[in-house]
Amino acid sequence: MNATVAAQPKPAINSFERYLSVWVALCIAVGIALGYSLPNLFAAIASAEIARVNLVVAVLIWLMIVPMLLKIDLGALGSVRQHWKGVGVTLFINWAVKPFSMALLGTLFLGWLFRPLLPQGEINAYIAGLILLAAAPCTAMVFVWSNLCDGEPTYTLSQVALNDVIMVFAFAPLVGLLLGVASITVPWDTLLISVLLYIVVPVIVAQIIRRALLSSGGQPALDRLLATLGPLSLVALLTTLVLLFGFQGPAILAHPLVIALIAIPILIQVYFNAGLAYWLSRRFGVAWCVAAPAALIGASNFFELAVAAAISLFGLNSGAALATVVGVLVEVPVMLSVVSIVKKTRPWYEQRVPA
């Protein structure tokens, strides 16, 4: 396997970034409280959508990911070929492991262990919602997680683009197989608009800005803009968190036990898939800057598509829709914990792997 690679010096993080987990916890509490006390306001914000893609959240996601996309030199995308092992690991986790492991965990926990504690008529719908969640790899938010762990940006962009292409063809057959349904109605408008809003347009905008800055002021001009936009990106992340929890505040307070029980297989699945991707990357000699985002891409979910598909198939107030919403609720805190784990274990990762 590859020899140990010395870790590069890391820039010091400011107090805001150091206590990011504290701000996340506060945003969760504030979001739930505001959602419960101001339901009409959050209902109005939630209604600003196209094909179930919320426009307010889309703008916030833009603010989150454009600074990361500014770092990407599209001319260097050809170099991603050297990371083919990392690409292979992530594809294996996303399409051959994650949906099936979620089906197994959902059946084990919700269909058996927790069955006496759940509404009997909704158990199968809860499991279906978990499968929908796991069958769609994450897109936009992956750029945030990769940036937080100093991941390789060209690899991240290439992997997300590849997953989007595969998802167009594989999502419906895979979900149909796992749900045992002959025909799955895929919300194509949601899928295509999400990819357009979260990937295509931000990449184009970021590249236009990047080239303009490099032409006029060179790398120093780009570095100054990135330093300015960095805090804005984190504020957008926290604001998104307040909105997501605000949208679901009443549901959280109305079904706390059900939501807690549904969250358990989701949490196990996230850590299992992230850990497996990270371990496989190390065994195959993948560089840490690729292995870290590979673990995050392998574990996270495209919750916008999952929620839309659940509503289309089972209805707005179904157990399946509720299960996908739980995925939304745990996404940010759990992925931040995965970011922390891969960063803290970098020295172990970069040790020589025994033959």
Q: Give the number of domains in the chain.
A: 1
Q: Is residue 59 part of a domain?
A: yes
pLDDT of residue 301: 86
Domain that holds residue 137: 19-350
285: left (phi over 0), alpha (psi -120 to 50) or beta: left
> And the tokens for 3?
């020899």
What is each CA distance from 151 to 155, 164, 296, 352, in whole angstroms?
Answer: 8, 19, 10, 20
- Residue spans of the chain under pLDDT 70: 1-21, 75-80, 181-187, 191, 304, 312, 315-317, 352-355
pLDDT of residue 185: 60
Q: Is residue 12 part of a domain?
A: no
Q: Is residue 355 part of a domain?
A: no
Q: How far is CA 294 from the centre of its chain?
A: 12
What is each CA distance from 320 to 12, 94, 167, 175, 179, in whole angstroms?
Answer: 43, 21, 20, 13, 12
Q: Which H or E run includes 298?
A: helix 288-299
Q: Is residue 312 part of a domain?
A: yes
Distance CA(40)–CA(37), nearest Å, equals 9
Residue type, 72: I
> And the tokens for 277?
């991707």
pLDDT of residue 204: 87
Q: What is the domain-level CATH number for residue 257?
A: 1.20.1530.20
Give the Cβ contact number of residue 345 at 10 Å.
14
For residue 216, what are the contacts with CB-CB under 8 A and spacing of at least 6? none
Distance CA(111)–CA(125), nearest Å, equals 10
pLDDT of residue 246: 85
Distance CA(281)–CA(78), nearest Å, equals 20
Q: Is residue 10 part of a domain?
A: no
How many residues belong to the chain? 355
Q: Is residue 2 part of a domain?
A: no
Q: Is residue 39 part of a domain?
A: yes
Q: Is residue 224 part of a domain?
A: yes
